Structure 1
Amino acid sequence: MSEKSECRPSGYLFDSATLNESLRSNKAVVCAVSASYISTFAGYPLDSIKSRLQTIRTPITVPKLAVQVYREEGVVGFYRGLWIPLITISFVRAASFTIYTRTKEYFRDHHLLARNRLVDVAATGGIGGALSGSLISFGSAPFELVKVRRQLEYSIAASKGLRILKAPGTLDAVRDIFKAYGMSGLYLGFRLHFIRDTLGTGLYFFEYDGMRHLMGRLPSGEQGPTPSWMPVHPSVVPFMCGSLSGVTSWALIYPLDVVKTKVQQRALAGEPRRTVLETLHRLIRGPDPNAPKPILVGLARLYRGLGVSALRSITTHGLLWTFFDLTASYIDRLP
């Protein structure tokens, strides 16, 4: 160590030992935030297309919709509203993983579901995820509403008979919502958002922790040898488990997300409000009660955009846990 380094005060702000210890004590937050930025940027164009597919009335393939968005809005159209999740992701992921990990630590310290069995591991993860999703929804709902508003600028304008020459910015979108509905307008569709996040996050962590346990994760959190029936390289396990849990949990709550997006779109467009059941019924059976759509056609309408949403989940959740584990391994190796 150099003479200059030896003369540093013990409490020096940028002392490497202090920094390393801080990283270790906040490992879950650091890993979640850093991995979230990468996964969010990679999957956002698919999320934008998903929102559009959920709200348009005429069926259209994903490639055709992507071409249409590119022609009308350019590359920027795929990333419209991106700053909202990028700005908020640090808060949401940090709080979410903190609640999730602290809940599991509470169960472990109080010897609740503490046996290293599949049902115990999955249950603690699910409880931690559900608690995390429910609490975080109070802070994330306004930001997601603004994100939906930005993604659906053109369809909302079309429903009003308007044509957008230049899409308004994020602050303009917030101002419009506040002007029309006041502060409560930022929580349009909140009940559906709350239920979706509670169920979805609970299912997600329930499945992820259960899968990681089956794939040989040790009680310490490190990845052990994979089972003989799934002989994959340990480095692939986080991506595989993250993708599968993301796709399956999202597929289960997808109809709820479609209803939420439709309710929010109508409210933002200033159209008369409908109840959740009425919205769900119209999505399945169509707007004309005298000529209802066949059930299967209606259900297909309800799941429109699931394919691109599944691809988004594979991308974002697979990358999230891959970089989460890579960052965690890096922090564990710090001196």
Structure 2
Amino acid sequence: MDGTTRFGPLYDPNALNGFLRRNKAVVCALSASYISTFAGYPLDSLKSRLQTTKTAISIPKLASLVYKEEGLMGFYRGLWIPLMTISFVRAASFTIYSRTKEYFAAHSILSRNSIVDVGLTGGISGAMSGALISFGSAPFELVKVRRQLEYAIAASKGIVLKKAPGTLEAVKEIYRSNGMGGLYIGFRLHFIRDTAGTALYFLEYDGMRHLLGRNRLGEQGETPSWLPIHQSVVPFMCGSVSGVTSWALIYPLDVVKTKVQQRALAGERYRGPFETLHRLIRGPDPSNPKPLLAGLVRLYRGLGVSALRSITTHGLLWTLFDMTATYIDNLPNPSSNIDGE
């Protein structure tokens, strides 16, 4: 086989290269997201369980308990939901983020080569991305939380599960109990979390990349003398640090969101965000409130495993994103003609 048919070549490399260049943000986001999501999902599953347990439990003990009761697949329960939606969420998120930055550059908005302008551009672009994407991602994340907390929700109803229902059954159950609007349980909290979290994330990432030698065109230069690391490590380090720190700042909001969604999915009495936050910090008994420090520790339960997940997923995400972007940038120019047979 010579790669041709009687109708011509099986594919046109110039056309393919042109497609990759025109859709670089989408291609980079997709290829990087699938791998990073799969690598970090077991930690995300443990995080959701830690946030909703009533008593403190160590990560190794919880992992052992999940494996004993649900097997290896317990760590990947609901995985296909983010994998299925990652094509929409990541591609759209990075496209909105990239296009907003391009608009700022074309109109000379925040165009100074300073960390303030670079950070604000990234933050505003991230906020736009997070806000718009939240409308599409909220139902899928709710179903993911439902799948991850199947056993806890069943236990709150007095049901002992022998086998957890599948994802489609979980969607049907949400619809039967709450109608179409049930897929947007906790949406306001999800919207605020994603808008604020994505803004912080991209603000920090772009700011750190600027400090470590990346110019406004996206080209990585020499790292500064005060941090002489190899250029290939920069994306992983910046992605990990921005992922961990931005997540830590909005983590209490995510805990409240998950708790509100869990109660709603279990059919328990609705508690608003502020009531939920107060009960998480001070306990259910107003006459005998928990010490403030103990309440804050409860609020940040699961942060350690969440931080490890952020280091894994966001470090891998940006490393693979940059590798793919470099590969596309180095492709032959599709407009050039290659002579000869």
TM norm structure 1 = 0.97
SS in 2 for 1:59: coil
How far the C-alpha of 1:218 sits from its partner, in A, is 1.9
How far apart, in 2, do the equivalents of 1:173 and 1:57 lie? 23
- 1:153-172 alignment runs, 5 A limit: 153-172=150-169
| Unaligned ranges ≥5, structure 2 | 333-341
Q: Deviations over 1:119-144 (max 9, x none)?
A: 00110000000000000000000000
What's 1:210 paired with?
207
Question: CA offsets per residue over residues 135-171 of structure 1, 9 Å max, x none?
Answer: 0000000000000000000000011111001100000
Which of 309, 312, 320 is matched with 2:309 structurally?
Answer: 312
Task: Look up the match of 1:227.
Answer: 224
**Aligned residue type for 2:42:** P
Number of residue-to-residue matches in the alignment: 331
Asked whether 1:124 is paired with 2:129, we answer: no
Q: Which position in structure 1 is the counterpart of 2:336?
A: none
**Superposition map of 1:57-136 within 5 A:** 57-136=54-133
Q: Structure 1 pair 5/124, CA: closer, same or farther in 2 (3 Å)?
A: farther
| 1:219 positional shift | 2.1
Match of 1:268 among 262, 265, 268: 265
Distance 1:14 1:172 in 2: 42
Distance 1:275 1:4, change over 3 A: closer
- 2:34 matched to which residue of 1? 37
User: Measured at CA, do residues 250 and 25 of structure 1 come closer, stay the same or move farther in structure 2, by a change above 3 Å?
Assistant: same
Q: What 5-or-longer segments of structure 1 have no aligned partner?
A: none
The corresponding residue for 2:325 is 328
Identity over aligned pairs, percent: 76
* Alignment-derived partner of residue 173 in structure 1: 170
CA displacement at 1:222 relative to structure 2: 1.6
| 1: CA distance, partners of 2:3 / 2:66 | 60
2: CA distance between counterparts of 1:5 and 1:288?
76
Instruction: Return the TM-score normalized by structure 2.
Output: 0.95
Aligned partner of 2:288 among 266, 286, 291: 291
Which of 159, 173, 198 in structure 2 is aligned with 1:201? 198
Which stretch of the first structure deviates more once superposed, 219-228 or 232-241? Answer: 219-228
Aligned structure 1 segments of 4 or more residues deviating by more than 2 angstroms: 2-8
| One-letter amino acid of the structure 1 residue matched with residue 136 of structure 2 | G
